[in-house]
Amino acid sequence: MTEPIRLTWEYEGYAATQERLRESLCTLGNGYFATRGALPECVADEVHYPGTYAAGVYNRLTSEVAGRRVENEDMVNLPNWLPLRFRLPGQDWITPDTATVLEHRLVLHPPSGRLERRTRFALGDGRALSVRQQRLVHMGDPHLAALRTEFTADGFGGDLEVEAALDGGVTNAGVPRYHDLDGRHLTHVHTGDTDSGTVWLRCRTRTSDIRIGLAGRLTADAPVTVQHTPPRAVQRLYLPLVAGRTVTVDKTVALHTSHDPAISDPLHAAVDRVDAAPGFDELLESHITAWDQLWRRAELDVPGESGRILRLHLFHLLQTLSPHTAGLDVGVPARGLHGEAYRGHVFWDELFVLPYLNLHLPEVSRALLDYRHRRLEPACAAARETGRRGAMYPWQSGSDGREETQRLHLNPRSGRWLPDHSRLQHHVGSAIAYNVWRYCEAAGDIEFLHTKGAEMLLQIARFWADSAVYDERLGRHRIRGVVGPDEYHDAYPGALGPGLDDNTYTNVMAAWVLARALDLLGTLPEPRRRELVEWTGLDGGELEHWDDVSRTLHVPFHAGVVSQFDGYGELAELDWEGYRQRYGDIRRLDRILEAEGDTVNRYQASKQADVLMLGYLFSPAVLRGLFDRLRVPMDDDVWRRTVDYYLHRTSHGSTLSGIVHGWVLARARRAEAWKFCQEALQGDIADVQGGTTGEGIHLGAMAGTCDLVQRGLTGLEARDGALWLDPVPLPELSSYCFTLQYHGNWGVRLRLERLHLEIAVPASDPSPIDVRLPGRGVGVQPGETCRVLLPE
C-alpha cells in the first residue's frame, strides 16, 4: 500500500489519429454539464470533435433512412464555449494541423479535475510560440467553466491576434454511423453583448424547445473588441508579445438551460453568473476544494497501474454523476456526458453504476431512481399497449420515458441498415427493481422503499407475472418473445419474427422480483399496504399467482449446463479459431457474420455474459436460494460447468462482459479472473472495442471496475441490516483500501492487506455497524477500528 500512484493521465506528442480518443478520456464535467477535451483552436472535423452536453437535454428529430422515416431522440451537442484561436496578424490561424509542432503534451489531473495542455509551435526563422492552457468545469458551481491560456514568445516580439468565441453553429456529428440522421438540433441562435463586455448566445432546441443561455467573459492586459457573426459571438484582442515573457488570457463562461430551477430566464441567469464569477485563480481554488471533498467521499486506494486506471474510471464516474445530479431529472447515460454514441440514452447500465454509488453518494442513487419513478406511468402505458398489466420500462430511455430504441441500426462493416429488436430486452425492468432493493438496503432508506420504491417494484413484478404463460407439458410458466443481455441472439434461425423463449437470466430475475415484491408487501405498515393495494387493485388471487409464478418459471438446461435460452444447445457450434484467424478481433461477431450473409442467431456464440450475469448480481448462497425456490438443481458443479461452457462461447463484444467474467471467476477463485479484470480495466484507455471510446466512454464498465474492488473482491453486501464480507484472494489485487457511507456512518474505511482486514468507523452518532464474516460476526462502534485475520 506504500507504492506511490502517479495520479495524472498524460499524452506526449500530437497524434491526429488519437485525438478523438484523447478528447473523450480528457472530458471535464461536474454532473450538470461536460465538455470534451478538444483543443480550443480546433473546429469539428474528421480529427477533432469539441462537444458540450448538459445532463437531460434531449431533442427529437425525424430522418429519412433506407427509405423509411425514422425518429430519434438525442442528447444535444450544445453551443461550443471553447473556441480560442490565435495567429500572427495577417497569417493563418495556428493549429497542430496547420503548423509545425515542436512539443505537445496533454495532462489530465483527476485529483483536481483540471486539464492542462502545453504546445510549442515553430513559426519559422527561429521563432517559436509556447502555449499553456488550463481548463476546468467547475465542480462547486455547476454552471461555470473557465479556460486560462498563457502565451510565451521565443525569438520574436510583436502582436498576437487572439479570437475567442461562443459558437452556436454546432450539430450532432460525432458518430459516423449516425451521419444519415438529422443532427441539427439547435435553432433561433442569437448573440449579443452587455455594457460590461460580456458576450452572450441564446438558442433553443428545435422540438423539445429547451432554451439555452451561454455567456462569456474575456480577461487580458489588452483591450477586447466584440464582433457578432451569427451564429458566433466573437471577442478579439491583440496581445503584445515580448520574447521570454508570458502573457495570459482568461475565458470564463456560464451555462444555463430552461430546465434549471430557481431562474426566470437562462440567458439572464448566465450573464449574471459570469459577471459575478471571480477570477481564474479563485475559481480554480474553489474548484479544487469541491473535488477534494468529493474524493474523500469516494476514496479508492489501489496500488500500481491498476490503481491509476481505477482512479481515472472513478473520476469519469464522479464528473458524470456528481452531487449536482441529485437535483436533476436524469438517468445514467451509458456513454457518460462524453460523446454522442447511443445518443445519450439510458439503458440498463445503472445496474453496474448504482451499487457503487449507493455506498458513497446515496443521494445521487436516489435521484437516479426518482428518474425511473417519474416514468413509471409511461412504463405502465407501454405494458397496456401490449395487453399486459404492470410496468414495461423501455430498453432505451431519454427525456420522457417512451421507448427510444431505434427501429434500424447500421452495420458499418456491410453498410446495411438492419432491424433492431433490442427493445425486447424487458429485463431492464428487473435491473430497476434490483437497484431499488439494493439502494434501500445500503442506504437504509425505508421511506423510499415504502413509497416510490414499492410502487415501481410492484408494477414491475405485476408485468412479469402477466407475461408468464403456463405450459401444461412442462408444468411450468414460461416467458416468451424476449431478448436477454446477449444482444447477438434476437430470434430463432429461420423464424418469421423476433424474440426468444425462456431466457434464463430474464426468468430468474423475474422470479427474484416477484419474491421481493411479496416480501415487501408482507413487511409494509398496514396503512401503506392498504394504500398500495387500493392504488394497484391487487387482490389475494393475484398475489397467489405471483407466488406461483415465482416458483415455477422455466429454467432450461442442456448438456448438464444452464441454457442461455430454450433451444440454445441446439444451435450450431461456431468455428471460433477459424474466425479469429480470418478476422483477428471478433468482438463484433454479429457484424462479421451479417456482412458474410450469415447470422449469429444460428450459433452458440454470445456477445457478453448472459446466464453468468446471475453470478455477478447474487452471491452463491443467494443464487442457490433462488434456484431452490424454482425447484431447479444448482450446486457448485453445475455452476462451474455452466461458467466453463459460456467462457468458450463468448466474444466479449461489450465492455461489460470483462467485468462480469472477472467478477464471477474471482468469486470462484479461478486463475483466469485477472485476464478479464485486465480487459475491463483496459476497455476505454486502450479502446479495445476499436474506435468506440472516441464517441464516449463506457460508464457502466468504468463504474463496474471500481465496484469489482469494492464489492467483488470483498464479497461486500448490504443486506438484512448488516455489512456482509467474504473476501476472495486475487494475487494481482491483494491490497486495497476504500471508504464508504453506510446507514448514516460517513467515512467508514475498509483496508485489506493480503489476509489482514481492517474496518474503521469514524466517531459519530449513528449506531454501531454489524459486520458479518463467514462463520462470525463483529460489531464495530463509531470511533473504533476492528482488525480481522482472514483464513488462507
Cα 687 to chain centroid distance, Å, stands at 16
Task: Identify the helix (H) or strand (E) that includes residue 191.
Answer: strand 186-193
Per residue, the 3-state secondary structure of 553-577, as one string, reads ECCCEECCEECCCCCHHHCECCCHH
CA distances from 13 to 77, 101, 109, 110 (A): 28, 8, 18, 20
Pairwise CA distance, residues 526 & 520, whole Å? 12
Find the Cα–Cα–Cα–Cα dihedral 452, 455, 460, 464, rounded to 10°.
Answer: 160
Beta partners for 753? 735, 756
Question: What does the radius of gyration of the chain's CA atoms come to, in whole angstroms?
Answer: 27
Cell output for 489? 441472439
Pairing of the two strands 756-760 and 745-753: antiparallel
CA distance 372 to 493: 35
**Residue 450: alpha-carbon gap to chain centroid:** 28
Distance between CA atoms of residues 710 and 218, nearest Å? 44
Rounded to whole angstroms, what are the CA distances from 491 to 346, 573, 592?
24, 17, 18
Reply yes or no on whether 487 is catalytic: yes
Strands 769-773 and 722-724: parallel
Reduce the DSSP state of residue 517 to 3 states and report it.
helix
Q: Amino acid letter at 546?
A: W
Q: Which three cell numbers stand for residue 276?
A: 459575478
Q: Are 337 and 702 in contact (CB under 8 A)?
A: no
Distance between CA atoms of 216 and 274, rounded to whole angstroms?
7
Question: What is the Cα–Cα distance from 658 to 647, expressed in whole angstroms?
Answer: 11
Three-state secondary structure readout of 424-465: HCCCHHHHHHHHHHHHHHHHCCHHHHHHHHHHHHHHHHHHHH
Omega before 231 within 30 of 0, i.e. cis: yes
Q: How many other C-beta atoms are found inside a 10 Å radius of the C-beta of residue 558?
A: 15
Length of the chain: 792
Q: Of the listed 19, 23, 487, 695, which one is catalytic?
A: 487
d(CA 657, CA 762): 37
Using omega within 30 degrees of 0 as the cis cutoff, is the peptide bond preceding 261 cis? Answer: no
d(CA 764, CA 783) in angstroms, rounded, equals 7
- Active-site annotation, residues: 487
